[in-house]
Amino acid sequence: MTEKRRHGKELENAIFDATIDILNDDGLDGVTFSKVAARVKTSRPVIYRRWDSPFSLALEAIRNKIRQDNHGHMQDITLSGQNLSEDLSQVLQRYMVVMNTFSRYYVSLLLAGTNSDDTSVLDDVFEHGNQENIKTMTVILNRAIDRDEIKEDKFSNETKLLPFEWLRYHLFTESKVSDEQLKTFIKCVLVPVYTQK
C-alpha cells in the first residue's frame, strides 16, 4: 500500500517536526536537507525550493515550535488583566514560554550564525520579534490609558522593549526566571517606569 503524499501545511508541519527531532537528536550540525527529506519521505528539491539553507529551515522550525507551545503568536493573545500589572504579567508569562522553547536551541543557532552568512537571518528574526513586542506593548499601554493608569503613550521603543530585553538577558545567561522574580520585576520596575508622571 502506497503512502498518501502530503502537501501544503501538512507537508510543512511534517518537515518542521522532522527538523525539530533532528535538532534534538543531533544538534544544528545534524540538520541537512537530505536527512530531513529522508525522515519526511519527500524529495530534497521540495525542501530546497522553500529554504535557502539548513540554518534557515532550523530557525523556521523553531519558530513553528514556539507557536505550537504558545498556542499561536504572541500578538494573538487576548488581554484580560484588570490593570497594567496584570496585563504585563499575562504577556510576560506567555513570552517566557517563547524563551524557554528558544533557549533549547539558542546557543547552537548563535554560534552557527556568527560563523556564516546566516547572521542576517538571525538578525531578521530578532528584529521581527522586537517589532511584534513593540506592538504588544503599545496595546498594553493603550489599555492602561483607557483605564486612566497612564496619561499617554510617550515611551520610546527601547522602553517598550524593556520587559522583553530583561527576559532575554536571562536566556543569554541561562538563568531561569521564577514567578516571584517576574512579579517583583513587574511591581518594582515596570509599573513605576510606565506610570511615572
Q: pLDDT band for position 1 (50/70/90)?
A: very low
- Over residues 24-30, the mean pLDDT reads 87
Interval 94-104 mean pLDDT = 80
- Asked whether the predicted pLDDT for residue 70 surpasses 50, the reply is yes
Average of per-residue pLDDT across 134-157: 95
Mean pLDDT of 33-50: 92
**Mean per-residue pLDDT for 133-148?**
95
| Pairwise CA distance, residues 28 & 114, whole Å | 14
pTM greater than the 0.85 cutoff: no
Distance CA 56, CA 118 (A): 8
More confident residue, 45 or 7: 45
Alpha carbon separation from 89 to 42, 51, 55, 84, 190 (Å, rounded): 43, 36, 33, 9, 10
Q: d(Cα 17, Cα 165) in Å, to the nearest integer?
A: 29
145: cell is 490609558
Over residues 11-18, the mean pLDDT reads 93
Q: Lowest-pLDDT range, 37-41, 76-80, 91-95, 165-169? A: 76-80
Closest CA to 36 of 56, 10, 14, 63: 14
Q: What is the mean pLDDT of residues 69-93?
A: 86
Output the pLDDT for position 98.
Answer: 80
What's residue 172's pLDDT?
74
Mind listing the pLDDT tens digit for each residue in 166-180? Answer: 998 887 777 788 899
Asked if pLDDT for residue 43 goes beyond 70, the answer is yes
Q: Is the dihedral of CA 31, 34, 40, 42 positive or negative?
A: positive
Lowest mean pLDDT among 55-69, 70-84, 157-171, 181-195: 70-84
Q: Which CATH number fits the domain 8-60, given the four candidates 3.90.180.10, 1.20.120.140, 1.10.10.60, 3.90.1410.10?
A: 1.10.10.60
